[in-house]
Amino acid sequence: MRYLFLLLAAGAVGRLSAQQWLPNYLFVPLETRVCPYDSNIVIQQPSNWEIYQTTNGFWDGPRDSSVCISAYTTVPWNAQIDLGQINPQEPLFVRSLLDSFVSDPVYLLPNFQYAIVSNTAFLPDTLPLRFGTDCPEGLCTGVWLGVSIPDSAGNTAAAMRWHSGMPTGYYNPPNISACLPTEYFPDQSLRQFILKFSFDTLANLDGYTLELQSAQVEPLWFPPNYLSAVVAEPFNWNGSFYEVPIAQTSDGWNDINFLALHDDTSYPDALHPTWIEFRPEPNTETPQTIALNVEMYQTLEFQPFTYIRGALVEGSDSIRHTAVLENNGGNWCINWLDVIFGGVDEYRHNGGSVEVNNPVSCLQFRDQSTLRIGEDAVLDYGNRGAGMLAFCGGARIVLEPGATLELDAMLQISDCSADGNAPPVVVELHPGSLLRFSENAWLTNRFAPDMRLAVHLLGGTLDDSALSVGEKALIERVYPEASPDFGQNIQLSPNPFSHTLNVQYTAGQAEKLNVRWINPAGQTVAQEVFSAQKGINVWEMRPSIADGFYFVQMESASGRCVRKVVRTGE
């Protein structure tokens, strides 16, 4: 059935992509109207759009009848709004009048991917615009999209699936983008498209102009590849685990865009999720690790209520294989509520991006699953506070050496155990790694007041300076214990070395470590002083010395030791 749809969609998409999806998507021409709140006032607004404000900040809230907003144009292709006429304490809404097209709805292709882009400009570009989630509806500036779908009883257009988009980048103009994965329903249509702009409530907007340039909801040029199962073949075995390129195990000929499909035999909701299962072929009686690889320039989206997990091993009704979703440079767009990892499954981030478009777009880690940032990789997660990382007690965050997790979203820790005695959520910060909470991030245990975040400082750095005092109290710093034998706390590598000698020192307290380089004649030829923090410390030494062997003396308030090293200079 899906292969048949693939062929039909390939022929249809060329026609549909040329169609004007949003009526008057360029916001011109304008049309003259009577102000709905004062019949003595005549205004101009883009045809098939309305511009308004509400008194409670919600798009469908009570309209502010004291404001009649008019647009104008100084060029033939853009509508402009003088912001001096609006109330800066209320958001500005620009809404497509799609409900006027009930007899001719904007149908969306099933099992497809759409790109949502809205281009605007502000003059001058220093407009005091508000971003983030600290606004009614959890969205200050962005777009809401309502897609009508059947309800669980099959009644056409009886339910609505809401998606959202947020500004890209931190600078004006606030171009807004989002991904929209449609579902398997044949009669879904776009029913709402609402742009929202919030301002500094104390701002004087006289002299500011909002220029509406375009609003597009466009299907990708080609149907995506469909992911419904991950099958690892014998040739995918690398000696330790299975590595499966996503194009190998998906249906279709598009090796760039991929859509994880919900099973079309059940209604997609929280009670009827679809699990995309990872299994080896042939199946085995012992658990195997199967990694699905998403590479550079590839994109992945999940339909609502679609998750991944390892399949049952041969002959078992409880033991599963380990599923790993590995991002090696692709773009993973999350526009729905949750993507769930459980068991001992893992999201492994080695590169690329994870884009969140909803205030509560969420990666959820249950059981003993893991979010792992690979060596020297960087994951920027969140968008000015939008997005969530949710962890049950026992799940882990692992930052390998040199990895960085920049958290610009909510980190929620919960007790998901049956008896309410789950272990803490564990974070491992290995040498050179960094976990940083931005000023928009927040840490909460609101559903489990006894839950804590246990951060194991294994040579990495935790920057929680932007968190509140209460949030910092949810973090337990765990340090490796220093040995009473001082020499056991110091490791030097490599030895021999050519130019750089690495020092790893496990300190029992904050202290100074004095290092002296002594030649065979007993002369000090170089020396350094390092500031050690409690826990594992890692430094590089590049002494300006001749080739040969030396004694390195290391001394602190905790003790002293001497090691012999050789510099080769090669």
101 vs 445, residue with greater confidence: 445
Q: What is the tens place of the pLDDT at every residue in 66-124?
A: 999 999 998 777 899 999 999 999 999 999 998 776 557 788 999 999 999 898 888 88
Global pTM reads 0.87
Position of tokens 């893992």? 346
Q: CA-CA distances (angstroms) from residue 95 to 27, 77, 92, 215? A: 11, 19, 10, 11
Considering the domain architecture, whether residues 459 and 491 belong to the same structural domain is answered as: no
| pLDDT grade for 173, boundaries at 50, 70 and 90 | low
| CA torsion angle 301 307 309 315 (round to 10) | -120
3-state SS, residue 378: strand
Confidence label for 6 from pLDDT (cuts 50, 70 and 90):
very low
**How far apart are the C-alpha atoms of 331 and 176, rounded to whole Å?**
17
* Domain end point (choices 219, 251, 285): 219
Q: What is the CATH number of the domain that holds 515?
A: 2.60.40.1930
> How many Å apart are CA 312 and CA 321, to the nearest integer?
6
Q: If you search the block for the tokens 């904007």, which residue do you land on? A: 106
Q: How confident is the model at residue 210 (pLDDT cuts 50, 70, 90)?
A: very high
| pLDDT tops 60 at residue 12 | no
> Are 293 and 206 found together in one domain?
no
Q: The CATH number of the domain where 101 resides is what? A: 2.60.120.260
Q: Which of 259, 272, 410 is nearest to 333 (CA)?
A: 259
245: buried, middle or exposed (CB in 10 Å: 19+, 13-18, 0-12)?
Answer: middle
Distance CA 520, CA 551 (A): 8
Nearest to 503 by CA among 512, 495, 494, 491: 491
281 and 256 belong to one structural domain = yes
Domain count, the chain: 3
Q: Tokens for 560?
A: 């002293």
- Asked if 317 and 392 sit in the same domain, the reply is yes
Domain boundary among 450, 478, 506: 478
Domain match, 189 and 71 both: yes
Owning domain of residue 181 = 2-219
Give the tens place of pLDDT for each residue, 496-552: 999 899 999 999 999 999 999 999 999 999 999 999 988 889 899 999 899 999 999
Alpha-carbon span 312 to 319, nearest angstrom: 6
Same domain, yes or no: 506 and 474: no
Please report where in the chains the tokens 């029992």 appear, as a residue: 508
> In this structure, are 14 and 142 located in the same domain?
yes
Structure tokens at 390: 């949710």
- 177 and 41 within one domain: yes
Model pLDDT, residue 15: 37
Give the closest residue to 339 by CA, choosing from 358, 311, 320.
358
| pLDDT value of residue 258 | 96
Same domain, yes or no: 184 and 229:
no
Task: Using alpha carbons, list the distances in angstroms from residue 505 to 451, 491, 497, 517.
Answer: 31, 7, 18, 17
Structural tokens at position 236: 């995918």
Q: Which amino acid is at 120?
A: T
**Which of 121-125, 136-140, 158-162, 412-416 has the least mean pLDDT?**
121-125
Report the pLDDT value the prediction gives residue 418, as an integer from 0 to 100. Answer: 85
Residues 199 and 242 in one domain: no
What confidence score (pLDDT) does residue 570 get?
66
Sort strands 548-556 and 511-518 into parallel, antiparallel or unpaired. antiparallel
Give the residue-averaged pLDDT of 449-473: 94
Q: From CA 7, how far away is CA 351, in angstroms rounded?
A: 33
pLDDT tens, residue by residue, 14-68: 434 434 478 889 999 999 999 999 999 999 999 999 999 999 999 999 999 999 9
Q: Are strands 106-107 and 189-199 parallel, antiparallel or unpaired?
A: antiparallel
Q: How many CB atoms lie within 10 A of CB 112?
A: 22
Rounded distance between C-alpha atoms, residue 451 and residue 240, angstroms: 35
Q: How far apart are the C-alpha atoms of 21 and 216, rounded to whole Å? A: 7
How many CB atoms are closer than 10 A to CB 254?
21
Kindly report the backbone phi and psi dihedral angles of residue 38, in degrees, each rounded to the nearest multiple of 5, phi listed first. Answer: -150, 105
- Spatial separation of the C-alpha atoms in residues 82 and 44, rounded to whole Å: 12
Asked whether residue 110 falls in the same domain as residue 44, the answer is yes
User: Which of 460, 478, 496 marks a domain boundary?
Assistant: 478
**Tokens standing for residue 136:** 């009614």
Amino acid 153: pLDDT: 92
Note whether 327 and 373 are within 8 A (CB). Answer: no
Q: Which of 246-250, 274-278, 360-364, 394-398 is the least confident region?
A: 360-364
Q: Alpha-carbon torsion 251, 255, 257, 260, what sign?
A: positive
Q: Is the pLDDT of residue 443 over 90?
A: yes
Instruction: Count Cα atoms within 13 angstroms, Cβ side, for 18.
Output: 4
CA angle centred on 395, ends 285 and 133, rounded to 5°: 135
Where are the alpha helices (H) located in 287-411, listed in sequence order? none
Shared-domain flag, residues 426 and 499: no
Q: Would you state the pLDDT for residue 125?
A: 74
**Are the CB atoms for 563 and 552 separated by under 8 Å?**
yes
Q: From residue 330, how far is each of 25, 261, 371 by CA, in Å?
A: 30, 19, 17
